[in-house]
Structure 1
Amino acid sequence: MNIAFIGLGQMGQAIAHNLLKRNHTLTVFNRSRAKADTLIQAGAHWADTPASAVAEAEVVFTMLSDDAALHEVALGEFGFLAALPEGAIHISCSTISPETARQLAEQHQTRKTKYVACPVFGKPDAAQAAKLWLCTSGNQGAKENVRPLLDLIGQGVYDFGDEVGAANVVKLAGNFLLGCAIEAMAEAFTLGEKNGVARSAMYDLFSNTLFASPVYKNYGKLIADEVYQPVGASPALIRKDMRLLLDVAQKSLVPMPFGMVVFQQLTATVAKGVPDIDWAGFAGEVSENAGVGKR
């Protein structure tokens, strides 16, 4: 299959490599060509613009940082949407607003192409191992057509129907739940530390008993050790997601006070310019406010 891939950050590179391993023809574009070097060495073709990347594509994947970046590569001066062959399918893996997804789906419909929302859960190492969890929504026929490709990059696909923005709502809700878990662990571990209980001891108990789940095991380890490496996603990137979440909540008349707490903690971390930490590093705000911590 002829596939185009646009957006080669850590996640995009990992996903693209897994597609290339299955002998698909892959053409890639990224604002910085250097990020495409390993893919080109592995057999991918380079395109100078998003439009030229999709000239012969049956499917185009996008994995971009935000709504503005996706809008630019799709509809900008050298955007791919006008160049995408009729009948081709756009799989959008970016974390964007559901409204942007709906707008893009409408643009695709007018051009006789199709759009599938497919945001993902998982860090870059999960992407490399093809162990992402995928959420989909949009045109049923298009989802069925691309399912073999999705099976190459993830360990499970959860579909949320024909309403194209639904998967993006689920993605924002999932990041909200992750943020709440991080905040809760940070508060609990800091409470223990202030009262003479080792953070690591609390982590060991909770991650193996009451909260024996991947989130508490993986993020809990970072919070217990206060070592926020490796970087899966930056605080600024997930702060953007929380802003999108709160915007959807406001439009939906859903009070989300915990969402605001996570957003404010991320805002403080970004404002302080804390360098090179995973987004879970906002847990350090809790420690600092309690007069402890080593972030």
Structure 2
Amino acid sequence: MDIGMIGLGAMGRAMARNLAQAGHTVRAWNRSGGSDEGVTMVASPVDVFQSDAVLTMLSDDSVIRSVLLEPGVLKQAKPGLVHVVMSTISVAFARELVALHEAAGIDYVSAPVLGRPDVAAKGELNVLAAGAPHALTKVRPMLDVVSKRVWDMGADAPAANAAKIACNMMITMAIEAMAEAVVLTEANGLSRDQFFDLILNTLFGCRSYQVYSANIAAGQYEPGFKASLGLKDLRLAAEAAEQAGRSLPMLTAVHDRMAETVEAGMGDRDWSAMATLTIGPNAPARSSGPCL
């Protein structure tokens, strides 16, 4: 399959490499340049849109707008192309993209992903895909390459974006829940290792709790998924809640906590660094031990 790729950050680069290794022809454009083995770099986004399908992994709504919409790239796309947006974007912008692609005569699929760069490198992302059935069928072979599972979110593309935003919102709630639990348990003589060993082997034995309990246990928050991006995603969740006419109090709490994290100068650290504002920077951190 002739695949185009725009956005070669840590996630996009891993996906492009896996697609090339699987035998697909991959041509790519990246705002900051660069190259990768097996990938043909081209001069512009218009060149990328001469493929059978294009995956974009750009950071947010505004970047997609500036790279693709304002220069009129969609109107210059190869007929029959399917454009797959794998970024975490707002539900409202996804609806706008559906209409713009329809006007340009090309297909659109929302396919945000669950997983970090190490998961992308292994080709084990969870892909949340939604769009017209014929478009999903066409791009399914390449989504299978980059994923452990492709989750069919239906024919309405923005549903996939709502699901991704909701997932990220729930991860931040899990981080805050663990931080608050540490406050209670450490104040009463129980180590983080002991408590996390308990919850990971009883109530909460899932990847989000495993990954972020390890960060909290060790008191180490090296960049993984940046807090600044987490704040962006929580803003998208707040916007979606407002559009639905609903008040989500837990969302408000974690949004405010993440905003405090960024304001405290930790925007480039892993988003689990928000736990330090609840636990306190001077609280004792122990090795992660069995929670790994």
Conserved 8 A contact 1:98-1:164: no
Give aligned pairs, total: 285
Residue 273 of structure 1 aligns to a residue whose secondary structure is: helix
Measured after TM superposition, the shift of residue 103 of structure 1 is: 1.0
Structure 1 residue aligned with 2:8:
8
Contact 1:53/1:80 (8 A) holds in 2 = no
CA–CA separation in structure 2 for the residues paired with 1:189 and 1:132:
30
Aligned to 2:58: 64
Aligned AA (1:244): L
Q: Is residue 2:123 matched to residue 1:130? A: yes
CA distance in 1, matches of 2:117, 2:38: 21
SS of match in other structure, 1:242: helix
Pair 1:292 & 2:292 matched? no
Alpha carbons of structure 1 residues 274 and 144: separation in structure 2 relative to 1, 3 Å: same
- 1:247 aligned to which of 239, 252, 266: 239
How far apart are 1:276 and its partner, in Å? 4.3
Measure the CA separation in 2 of the matches of 1:293 and 1:49.
51
- Which residue is equivalent to 1:30? 30
Q: Which residue of 2 aligns with 1:121?
A: 114
Contact 2:17 2:39 (8 Å CA) reproduced:
no
Residue 180 of structure 1: which of 166, 173, 177 is its match?
173
- 1:157-176 aligned at under 5 Å gives the runs 157-176=150-169
Give unmatched runs, 5+ long, in structure 2. 286-292
Q: Identity rate of aligned residues, in percent?
A: 37
In the TM superposition, 1:47-126 aligns within 5 A as 47-54=42-49, 56-77=50-71, 79-126=72-119
Q: 1:235 aligns with which of 227, 242, 248?
A: 227
1:293, distance to aligned residue in structure 2 (A):
5.5
Distance in 1 (alpha carbons) for counterparts of 2:191 and 2:27: 51
TM-score, normalised relative to structure 1:
0.93
Where relative contact order (Cα < 8 A, 6+ residues apart) is larger, the structure is 2
In the aligned structure 1, how far is the partner of 2:172 from the partner of 2:216? 12
Which of 223, 247, 272 is 2:264 aligned to?
Answer: 272
- What is residue 197 of structure 1 aligned with on the other side? 190
Partner of 1:215: 208
Per the alignment, in what secondary structure is the counterpart of residue 194 of structure 2? helix
Counterpart contact for 1:86–1:111, Cα < 8 Å? no
The match for 1:44 among 36, 39, 46 is 39
Contact residue 234 and residue 277 of structure 1 kept, 8 A:
yes
1-side partners of 2:167 and 2:203: how far apart? 20
Farther off after superposition, 241-250 or 252-261 = 252-261
Question: Bigger CA drift: 253-262 or 177-186?
Answer: 253-262
What is the alpha-carbon distance in structure 2 between the residues aligned to residue 80 and residue 22 of structure 1?
28
